Structure 1
Amino acid sequence: MYEPIRTKSVHNTMAGTTSSDFPHRSREEELDIQLAGHLAALLAVTDELRALTPSADLDTAAERLIQQVTRLRDGRRPARSSGAAAVHEPDAAAALHRRAHALAGRALVVAASRADTGAAILAAERMDAHSAALAPAPAPAPA
């Protein structure tokens, strides 16, 4: 019914070399790279938020994110955003909080899959903080 394969697969060998000649990363190394990328993106959004609405909480979060990314990148510190790219529009802060919440969620998933408790706790805390920032302010109590 099917014709048998008569030639070797190009995926097993390329130009006469075997696949063992190519460097491969372990699953853990790949997850480290992914987690560092998500946390670095979260740091960039945090820096933009700090430019729009400075707060001690965001400063602390930025420092903790720097520590985690530096750890995951074997001592290489992440690039920092100057905050100049932050848009000063009425809904800009809310959009940044939504983006930060999504990035923290992605980081949490990767941190959980690689069993990185410190990064998972940080990501969960940032998700909570950005959710709280997006929540509507409570109505004033009647007098």
Structure 2
Amino acid sequence: MYEPIRTKSVHSTTAADAARIPHRSREEELDIQLAGHLAALLAVTDELGLTEAGDAIARQVARLRGGLPPVRHAGLSRAGAPALHDRAHALAGRALVVAASRADTAAAILAAERMDAHTAALTAL
């Protein structure tokens, strides 16, 4: 009544291929995302000339990257101080959200401190 299938199905599962594809856990993905936000914050912090704050951020980025220190250079955007503080505040906020979702107390405290510092700097300008 039915004819047997004689060819390989085009709808076959990829279970055999799944073992060859590298997968990351949620924690690893959050580590990568948090390190990225902090690295962006570090770039703006370095541009503002805040060396001590930049060193603290660099330590957190290195910790998240397994000890690999971030590359630091003075790639200047030629933006004014208010724009840089505003951008740094937003980046610190993003880092705070990710740090809170991964329960990283050290990074969350650092991000909150940087948010406070940039808010204070914006009100002083």
1:90-134 Cα shifts (integer Å, max 9, x gaps): xx1000000000000000000000000000000000000001111
Range with greater deviation from structure 2 (127-136 or 66-75): 127-136
Superposition deviation, residue 136 in structure 1: 4.7
**SS where residue 18 of structure 1 aligns?**
helix
Output the TM-score relative to the length of structure 1.
0.75
Structure 2 counterpart of 1:74? 66
| Paired position in structure 2 for 1:55 | none
Question: Is 1:107 aligned to 2:107, yes or no?
Answer: no
Aligned-partner SS, 2:41 = helix
Say whether residues 1:8 and 2:7 are aligned partners: no
Answer yes or no: is 1:64 the counterpart of 2:63: no
- Counterpart for residue 22 of structure 1: 21
- Which whole-Å CA distance do the structure 1 matches of 2:51 and 2:29 have between them? 29
Aligned-partner Cα distance in 2 for 1:127–1:78 = 21
Q: Which runs of 5+ in 1 are unaligned?
A: 1-5, 51-57, 138-143
Residue deviations 1:64-104 (CA, integer Å, cap 9, x gap): 10110000000111011225x142x6xx1000000000000
Determine which structure has the larger helix proportion and give its number: 2
**What is the number of equivalent residue pairs in this alignment?**
117
Quick one: percent identity of the two aligned structures?
67
Give secondary structure in 1 for the equivalent of 2:19.
helix
Which of 118, 123, 131 is residue 111 of structure 2 equivalent to?
A: 123
User: Residues of 2 paired with 1:107 and 1:136: CA distance?
Assistant: 24
Which of structure 1's runs of 4+ aligned residues deviate more than 6 A?
A: none
Q: Unmatched 5+ residue regions in structure 2? A: 1-8
TM-score by length of 2: 0.85
Q: Is the 8 A contact 1:100 1:130 kept in 2?
A: yes
